[in-house]
Structure formats: C-alpha cells, structure tokens
Structure 1
Amino acid sequence: MQVVLATHNPHKVAEFQQIIARTRPDLEVIGYDGPEPVEDGVTFAENALLKARAAAAHTGLAALADDSGICVDVLGGSPGVFSAYWAGQKKDATANLELLLDQLRDIADPHRTAHFTSTIALVFPDGREEVVEGLWPGRLAHAASGSGGFGYDPIFLPDGQPDGEERSVGEFTAEEKQAQSHRARAFAALIPLLAEL
C-alpha cells in the first residue's frame, strides 16, 4: 500500500520512511513531485492540511503532510510556523539556527525551554481528513553540536535523557531520533488511522 508524503524535503521523506517502517512495514511512503501549495496558514494544522489536500488531489492517493517547527517559550512560541523562514524567505537552515541563537544569546538556561511540534494531516482520496500532533519538550543549547539530523536539531536538548546526558539531537543516531522525536510521537497517534489504508 502506498501513501504520498506531501513534501519536497528529502530529509522529511527519509525520516518518515524510517518511522513508518518501525510499525507499518507494509506501507510504502513515496515522495511528492507535484506543485507545492502556498503555506499561508497561521497554525501547523492549517499548513499540514493545505499540503495534504494538494498531494491527495494531485496523486489520487492518501496523503500525509507534516508541518513542524520549534517553539521557544521565551519568544512566545516563535519561530513556530515560521521556523523554516525565521531568517528570511530562502529556507536557510544555518541562518535560521544562527539567528535563533543570537536572539537567545543573553537568556539563561532555565529560560531556554522549547519544544518541537509536529502536526501531521492525513487526507484520504474520498475527502476524509484527520490531524494529529506530537510534542518533544526540551531546551536550547548555547551553541550547535553534532552533525546529525537537520534544521534546529544541533541546538535542541531533549528532556529525559539518561544518566544526566545533555546531547543535542544533532548528536543522536537516526534510530534514537526516530524513537523519540516529535514526528514519531505524532505518528504514534496516527497509527490507528492508518489502519484504514
């Protein structure tokens, strides 16, 4: 069975393939090569639905779309839905990360709390729609570390690490990230809905 993932981001496609393979190896996630809708929603759910609807209409398949980002408490939840564009319209991950670190330069550790949010929309060809959400709490480091993951991963220190470790997600293995991430948490809520495929 195939489901299309409504993104042109190869990192997200690979991550979803790994997450889904853990629980639904019978489900093949394929990339989307159609037109991208304008993401003009003001919430993660609105943007995820925009993308999933476009992919389902274009392919005739059930479509998944993730809208995700990092939400920093001291910034009132920003960058939030603007995470990919925080430093401008180029979607420059390095510039986004550096700008966020600069904005938090004088913020002490107790006030650097943040969470990753992943909102996944599932749109069926018959028009039915479902939306689930996963949160991954933690805080932000003062400097990037590790070369794994993508986006803000090198500065995110997840809560609940064993033995007092303070590794960034950039230092996690792919398997560690897939087991704990905001996308994995959202996907866990999605599993019963995928049973309909």
Structure 2
Amino acid sequence: MKKIVLATKNQGKVRELRKALSHLPVEVLSLADFGDLPDAVEDGRTFAENARIKANFYRDQTGFDCLADDSGLEVEAFDGAPGVYSARFAGFHADDATNNEKLCTELKKRQLTSSPAAYACVLAFAAADGSECWTEGRCDGTVRLTPHGENGFGYDPYFYTADYPGRTMADLTLEEKERISHRGKAMRAMVQKLEEYLK
C-alpha cells in the first residue's frame, strides 16, 4: 500500500487530514512516525510557497509521497496579518494562548471589538517521483474579542464563521468544520487530484 506522509506535527491537522484521506488506498503517516526530523525552513512569502517548501523537504527526508499545508488567519484590520506568520504571531515560540492574546491586544490597540477576517489554506503534494500539485481554500468570517467553543485549535475560538452565524469555528463538530473550513475546501480539491494520481 502506498504511503503518504502528512508534513505536520500539529495533531489537530493530522486528525482532520487523516479523516479526509480515510477512503483512499493509502497508509497515512505523520512526521511523528519518523522520529526526530529537522524542521523545514518556511521562508516563503505566501502560503503556496511555504506549503511547497514543506512538501518537498519532507518528501526528500522520508522518501515517501508527502502532503503539506500552510494555512493561517488574515485579519482585515491588520492589513492581512498575521498571514503566513499565524503560528508565530506572538513570537517564534508562541502557542495558541499567546497568539490569541496578541490577536485581542492588536484589536484593542485599534479600538476595535471585531474585524472581518478569513482563514486561508494551501495544500501541496510532492510525490516521490518528483511530480507536484497544489490546491487552496478560504473561509470567511469575523474575529472578535470574546472566545467561544471548546473544539478546534489555533484561532478557532475567536473566529466567528459566516456560514454558521453566531458560532465560532471552535463551536463546530469536525464534520461541520470540514464542510466550511479553508482546509476542508482545499482537502476536497486535493482528494480529487489524489484519486487521479492513485489510479
């Protein structure tokens, strides 16, 4: 059976991507299955560049087909920031709590309680034979100072979705989130490409 490596150490992403690939005839691995691998240097200026960097780097490290994503939050009031720096918005060793704290601090600095925002995701696939493809997805909503919900990760408790008014991404079930999320949209498009690739 063909193996596909998910180029992430984020267990939330692993769960979402593994579920989306569950119907394909592949064994899905994550970076955790390969011990202490070095980190890819994500020095791209766009989600697409970073996703491609990661997919190619970990394909070369593991020798297997590799699927990588780069995703983040784009806040209108911050001129699209944090964008590609979403995971380290509050600094290189930031975590969800410190990133969300900075999100709220930046809103308050601008005397705002909310701002239009969008989640964006690019998925890149690098095959062991050297071929590549990528897909993208977006999810519109609003970030607010008041968190809600216990599910999800990252900025999810502060991101109120346009598709489910009054509910944050952290209020949604995994199935609801997959239906509307940036990663869900990118993943559905990627699955179509992988189905062709695996024929």
- For normalisation by structure 1, the TM-score amounts to 0.91
- Which residue of the partner structure matches residue 58 of structure 2? 55
In structure 2, distance between residues paired with 1:124 and 1:25: 16
For residue 178 of structure 1, give the secondary structure of its aligned residue in structure 2: helix
- Which residue of the partner structure matches residue 82 of structure 2? 79
More displaced 10-residue stretch of structure 1: 51-60 or 80-89: 51-60
- Which residue of the partner structure matches residue 168 of structure 1? 168
For residue 122 of structure 2, give the secondary structure of its aligned residue in structure 1: strand
- Which residue of the partner structure matches residue 194 of structure 1? 194
- Which residue of the partner structure matches residue 48 of structure 2? 45
Query: Structure 1 residues 35 and 158, CA, compared in 2 at 3 Å: closer, same or farther?
Result: same
- Which residue of the partner structure matches residue 134 of structure 2? 131
- Which residue of the partner structure matches residue 178 of structure 2? 178
8 Å CA contact 2:163–2:180 kept in 1: the answer is no
For residue 104 of structure 1, give the secondary structure of its aligned residue in structure 2: helix
In structure 2, distance between residues paired with 1:185 and 1:132: 9
The Cα RMSD (Å) is 1.4
1:159 aligns to 2:181 (yes or no): no
* Unaligned stretches of 5+ residues in structure 2: none
For residue 184 of structure 1, give the secondary structure of its aligned residue in structure 2: helix
1:99 aligns to 2:102 (yes or no): yes
In structure 1, distance between residues paired with 2:46 and 2:85: 10
**Paired amino acid for 1:188:** R
**Paired amino acid for 2:101:** E
8 Å CA contact 1:18–1:178 kept in 2: the answer is no
1:140 aligns with one of 132, 143, 146: 143
For residue 56 of structure 2, give the secondary structure of its aligned residue in structure 1: helix
For residue 68 of structure 1, give the secondary structure of its aligned residue in structure 2: strand
| Count of residue correspondences | 190
Query: Structure 1 residues 86 and 128, CA, compared in 2 at 3 Å: closer, same or farther?
Result: same
**Paired amino acid for 1:29:** V
8 Å CA contact 1:13–1:29 kept in 2: the answer is no
- For normalisation by structure 2, the TM-score amounts to 0.90
In structure 2, distance between residues paired with 1:14 and 1:191: 16
- Which residue of the partner structure matches residue 31 of structure 1? 30
Deviation at 1:79, TM superposition (A): 0.2
Deviation at 1:142, TM superposition (A): 2.0
For residue 191 of structure 2, give the secondary structure of its aligned residue in structure 1: helix
Deviation at 1:108, TM superposition (A): 5.2
Deviation at 1:25, TM superposition (A): 4.2
Q: Cα deviation per residue 1:64-109 (whole Å; 9 max; x = unaligned)?
A: 0000000011211100000011001113110101111121122254
In structure 2, distance between residues paired with 1:193 and 1:37: 24
For residue 21 of structure 2, give the secondary structure of its aligned residue in structure 1: helix
8 Å CA contact 1:69–1:118 kept in 2: the answer is yes
**Paired amino acid for 1:6:** A
**Paired amino acid for 1:65:** A
8 Å CA contact 2:140–2:161 kept in 1: the answer is yes
